[in-house]
Amino acid sequence: MSELAKRVARPEPETPLRDAVVTLGVSAVSIFFGGVVVAALVSEPLAFVLMPIAAAAVLYWVFSRTSRALRYNRTELPGHLAAWQRSWWCSKCGKVFEGG
Ligand SMILES: [Zn+2]
């Protein structure tokens, strides 16, 4: 995207559900194969300890990121969108003005 396009772009909502599904899918595959590798090369008990810890860490991270994204969409995005609706771009000086 050009600098101008970025400057005048409509503020986009976060996509918490899609992000969570992608992260959980990638993590599940990684943890599964990571666990298989650790079990095969190091020790099975270690894999049985590490996998739930990794899963819990991913769940915690996804949960906090999802709630942050939902909060952004609910509280901050409406203000950004309203400001964007009020703003306009001057093709002479290239500045973005609000109101008018
Ligand atoms: Zn101007």
> Residue 66: inside a domain, yes or no?
yes
Ligand 1: centre distance to CA 13 (Å) = 29
- The whole-number pLDDT of residue 100 equals 59
**Which stretches of 1-100 are assigned E, i.e. beta strand?**
87-89, 96-98
The pLDDT tens digits for 50-88 are 999 999 999 999 999 999 999 999 999 999 999 999 999
> Residue 56: inside a domain, yes or no?
yes
- The whole-number pLDDT of residue 15 equals 97
> Residue 26: inside a domain, yes or no?
yes
**Closest among 7, 3, 23, 22 to 88, alpha carbons compared:** 7
User: Which range marks the domain in which residue 82 is found?
Assistant: 16-87
Ligand 1: centre distance to CA 86 (Å) = 16
Q: Find all residues with CB under 8 Å of 27, minimum gap 6, and list them.
A: 54, 55, 58, 62
pLDDT surpassing 80 at residue 29: yes
Q: How many domains does the chain have?
A: 1
> Residue 9: inside a domain, yes or no?
no
> Residue 2: inside a domain, yes or no?
no
pLDDT (average), residues 27-55: 97
- For the chain, the average pLDDT equals 94
